[in-house]
């Protein structure tokens, strides 16, 4: 294990969910969890693919109550590629002994490598090596290369590749009382035996999704489609000591994308024009090299490796492609369904870095808040306050998405319309630091000033009988509990000099605004 790799040796069923999250590959537009392609969703594995900003709202009946929930949608699974000896059982870590299993995440180039050796009995071993990418240069492409090597035998290997539209949002146990069936009108079709497609749409947000897959092998490919899946088959002749290769390339579009007429047509066209796996891998590596040059990090030893892992996942969620999207910062990135893909106030942690290295991404995150400023003002008026009241948890349109369900009673008790000041305060910092970008002056100041107007509207009676300012940030979800009042402003800003500093800073922010 080097300073630019993250490696897992051996197969531990209890650790698979965590490993899948940490081995997620993304490019700012979409991300796919690091699940094994031959394994389907169960208590051990959970494959998932998520597109930034792709939400859907459903109503569920929980404990006799009607509960609305908006989720980042688990889109059709493009990973499935399973294999078996002809007329044998499908090989997975649960159905065949493993002689070797290693997952390696290459942080410098965004490649997930996998090597597994299956013990087939009688001295026969099947070695499987895979490389996977979510293309950083073309954010609509993903690719998977699988190499099969027979050791100690020769025979036929059946390979089956799928696009699976029968997926749901079921990755988090505490949300399983909620309706997770977000996809409808799933249809599959064929362009050629090597190229198949799948289309669907979300139930209420009506986002259309188009996905196309190209399977490349030196063996003939046959197709059998049955909604909600496409299935491609190839029969490989394995020879002892020789390697056979199968490449799977996919393209993904949604109706939220600009400059397309139809997501399915765009996906089919893009996968048809995509290069070979070698060409895609080379251009993907180049894109990552350019990304790391902008995000230079020089920290030695184990701390540097851990920092690079964290930064790697930030860049997979918030890449330069994010600059063209209307998205925020999901609390768990694009790596899974925890927090239902909602946007909290995580700008607080990533904007200082983005301001310096990726200002165009920082501007996009600011615009996400600015576009929802009107909703924040409506929320403040509904609560009888002035200014803008941004939600604790946000999604597609900026309304309050904080859950209030029996499965999360603490959250329901704490969700008393909090006023997270962290977001607009960071917007103010953004305006000061990168005022050369004209969009910040136009979008950041109104959000900051709207929040500033709302905060003083919440006086509370202090312990000494004095009126004071109510804490303006929402509670920490991990430490918060019913009845606990969170701390608001830092101690240095509660004093008179601290308040003067805040006032002076607000005046400087306002000076950047155009009349």
Shortest CA distance to 167 belongs to which of 224, 209, 195?
209
Q: What is the pLDDT of residue 130?
A: 99
> Please, what is the average pLDDT of the chain?
86
- 282 and 349 within one domain: no
Three-state helix/strand/coil letters over 60-112: EEECCEEEEEEEECCCCECCCEEEEECCCCCCCCCCCCEEEEEEEEECCCCEE
133 forms bridges with which residues in the sheet?
Answer: 143
Q: Please check whether residue 154 lies inside any domain of the structure.
A: yes
Question: Which CATH number characterizes residue 460's domain?
Answer: 1.50.10.10
- 287 and 366 within one domain: no
Q: Please check whether residue 320 lies inside any domain of the structure.
A: no
More confident residue, 3 or 136: 136
Q: Please check whether residue 334 lies inside any domain of the structure.
A: no
pLDDT of 438 over the 50 cut: no
Shortest CA distance to 477 belongs to which of 380, 393, 376, 372?
393
What is the rounded average pLDDT of the residues 359-380?
95
Question: What is the reported pTM?
Answer: 0.86
Question: Which CATH number characterizes residue 208's domain?
Answer: 2.70.98.40
Hey, which bits of 193-320 come out as E strands? 195-202, 208-217, 221-223, 229-238, 243-254
Shortest CA distance to 80 belongs to which of 237, 246, 274?
246
Are 231 and 160 in contact, with CB atoms under 8 Å apart? yes
Model pLDDT for residues 282-329, shown as the tens digit of each residue: 999 999 999 999 998 889 889 999 999 999 999 999 999 999 999 999
Q: What is the pLDDT of residue 394?
A: 95
Q: Please name the residues in contact with 326: beta carbons below 8 A apart, sequence gap of 6 or more.
A: 53, 364, 367, 368, 371
- 348 and 272 within one domain: no
Q: How far apart are CA 448 and CA 378, in angstroms?
A: 16
Full residue range of the structural domain in which residue 116 is found: 5-291
Q: How far apart are CA 172 and CA 154, in angstroms?
A: 42
Number of domains in the chain: 2
Confidence tier at 56 by pLDDT (50, 70, 90): very high
- 372 and 231 within one domain: no
- 364 and 280 within one domain: no
What is the rounded average pLDDT of the residues 90-97?
98
pLDDT of 448 over the 60 cut: no
Among 76-85, 231-240, 427-436, 482-491, where is mean pLDDT lowest?
A: 482-491
- 358 and 219 within one domain: no
**479 prior amide bond cis, ω within 30:** no
């Amino acid at each position: 294990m080097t300073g630019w790799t993250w490696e897992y040796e051996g197969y531990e069923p209890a650790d698979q969910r965590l490993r899948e999250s940490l081995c997620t590959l993304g490019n700012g537009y979409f991300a796919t969890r690091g699940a094994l392609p031959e394994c389907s969703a169960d208590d051990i594995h959970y494959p998932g693919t998520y597109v930034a900003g792709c939400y859907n709202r459903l109503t569920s009946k929980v404990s006799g109550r009607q509960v609305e929930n908006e989720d980042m949608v688990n889109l059709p699974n493009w990973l499935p590629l399973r294999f078996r000896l002809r007329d044998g059982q499908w090989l997975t870590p649960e159905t065949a002994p493993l002689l070797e299993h290693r997952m390696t995440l290459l942080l410098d180039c965004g490649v997930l490598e996998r090597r597994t050796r299956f013990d087939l009995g009688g001295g026969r071993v099947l070695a499987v090596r895979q490389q996977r990418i979510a293309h950083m240069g073309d954010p609509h492409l993903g690719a998977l290369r699988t190499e099969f090597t027979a050791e100690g035998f020769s025979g036929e290997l059946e390979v089956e590749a799928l696009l699976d539209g029968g997926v749901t949002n079921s990755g988090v146990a505490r949300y399983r009382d909620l309706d997770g069936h977000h996809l409808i009108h799933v249809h599959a079709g064929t362009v050629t035996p090597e190229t198949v497609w799948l289309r669907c749409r979300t139930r209420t947000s009506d986002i259309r999704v188009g996905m196309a897959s190209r399977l490349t092998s030196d063996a003939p490919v046959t197709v059998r489609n049955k909604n909600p899946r496409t299935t491609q088959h190839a029969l490989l002749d394995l020879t002892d000591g020789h390697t056979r290769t199968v490449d799977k390339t996919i393209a993904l579009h949604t109706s939220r994308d600009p400059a397309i007429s139809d997501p399915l047509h765009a996906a089919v066209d893009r996968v048809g024009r995509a290069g070979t796996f070698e060409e895609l891998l080379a251009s993907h590596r180049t894109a990552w090299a350019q990304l790391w040059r902008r995000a230079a990090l020089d920290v030695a030893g184990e701390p540097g490796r851990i920092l690079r892992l964290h930064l790697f996942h930030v860049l997979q969620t918030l890449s330069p492609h994010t600059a063209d999207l209307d998205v925020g910062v999901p609390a768990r990135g694009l790596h899974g369904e925890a927090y239902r893909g909602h946007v909290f106030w995580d700008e607080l942690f990533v904007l200082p870095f983005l301001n310096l290295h990726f200002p165009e991404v920082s501007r996009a995150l600011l615009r996400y808040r600015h576009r929802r400023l009107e909703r924040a003002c409506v929320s403040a008026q509904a609560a009888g306050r002035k200014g803008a009241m941004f939600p604790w948890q946000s999604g597609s349109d900026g309304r309050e998405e904080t859950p209030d369900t029996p499965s999360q009673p603490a959250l329901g008790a704490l969700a008393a319309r909090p006023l997270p000041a962290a977001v607009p305060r960071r917007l103010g910092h953004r305006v000061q630091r990168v005022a050369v970008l004209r969009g910040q002056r136009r979008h950041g100041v109104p959000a900051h000033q709207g929040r500033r107007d709302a905060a003083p509207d919440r006086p509370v009676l202090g312990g000494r009988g004095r009126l004071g300012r109510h804490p303006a940030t929402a509670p920490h979800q991990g430490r918060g509990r019913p009845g606990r009042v969170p701390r608001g402003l830092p101690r240095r800003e509660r004093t008179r000099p601290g308040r003067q500093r805040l006032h002076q800073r607000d005046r400087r922010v306002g000076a950047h605004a155009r009349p």
